[in-house]
């Protein structure tokens, strides 16, 4: 059994796209600014293992593979507990950068069984994780300015 989720949102930051991109492609430092990213290990030039935990008491064990690091679109493919992709499109604006992100993830196994009965709870958990990421991204970019 598998279940696919799709998420989209738009974030705004007061920094140039290249500065934002540099932070987003530096996976090894995510734990320093994204509270729900517990650990990142580089396993190859384009690959990393990432452990994430939001509010619910389970840890996602993911593998990420860099598909694109070039502006305007940054993309990674997902493996591990989730299969799919995460894509960030960075667009310059008078306010800095608009980050349009989308994620498509298929869950399998035990997590998919949970999703069958607790989909709203999993969506809420994902929203909490992304909220932490947005706040952390803004704070990390502001810290670079000082």
pTM comes to 0.91
With beta carbons less than 8 A apart as the criterion, state whether 16 and 72 touch.
no
CATH number, residue 121: 3.30.530.20
Q: Which domain holds residue 26?
A: 2-145
Cα(24)–Cα(1) distance, integer angstroms: 32
The domain total for the chain is 1
Confidence of residue 122 (pLDDT cuts 50, 70, 90): confident
Cα(138)–Cα(12) distance, integer angstroms: 9
pLDDT, residue 108, reads 77
How far are the Cα atoms of 97, 112, 131 from residue 81, in angstroms, in the given order? 31, 10, 21
With helix as H, strand as E and coil as C, how does 23-43 read? HHCCHHHHHHHCCCEEEEEEE
Longest dimension (CA), the chain: 49
Give the residue, 98 or 113, on which the prediction is more confident: 98
Residues 11-67 pLDDT 10s: 999 999 999 999 999 999 999 999 999 999 999 999 999 999 999 998 999 999 999
Q: Which of 72, 27, 17, 68 is nearest to 48 (CA)?
A: 27
pLDDT, residue 119, reads 84
């Amino acid at each position: 059994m598998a279940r696919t989720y799709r998420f989209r949102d738009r974030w705004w930051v007061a920094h140039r796209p290249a500065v934002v991109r540099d932070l987003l492609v530096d996976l090894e430092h995510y734990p320093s600014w994204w509270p729900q990213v517990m650990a990142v290990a580089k396993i190859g030039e384009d690959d990393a293992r990432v452990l994430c935990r939001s509010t619910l008491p389970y840890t996602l064990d993911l593998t990420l593979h860099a598909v694109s690091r070039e502006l305007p679109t940054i993309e990674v493919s997902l493996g591990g507990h989730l299969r799919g992709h995460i894509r960030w499109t960075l667009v310059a604006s008078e306010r800095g950068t608009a980050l349009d992100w989308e994620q498509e993830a298929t869950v399998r196994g035990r997590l998919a069984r949970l999703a069958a009965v607790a989909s709203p709870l999993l969506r809420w958990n994902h929203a909490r994780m992304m909220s932490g990421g947005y706040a952390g991204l803004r704070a990390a970019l502001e810290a670079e300015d000082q």
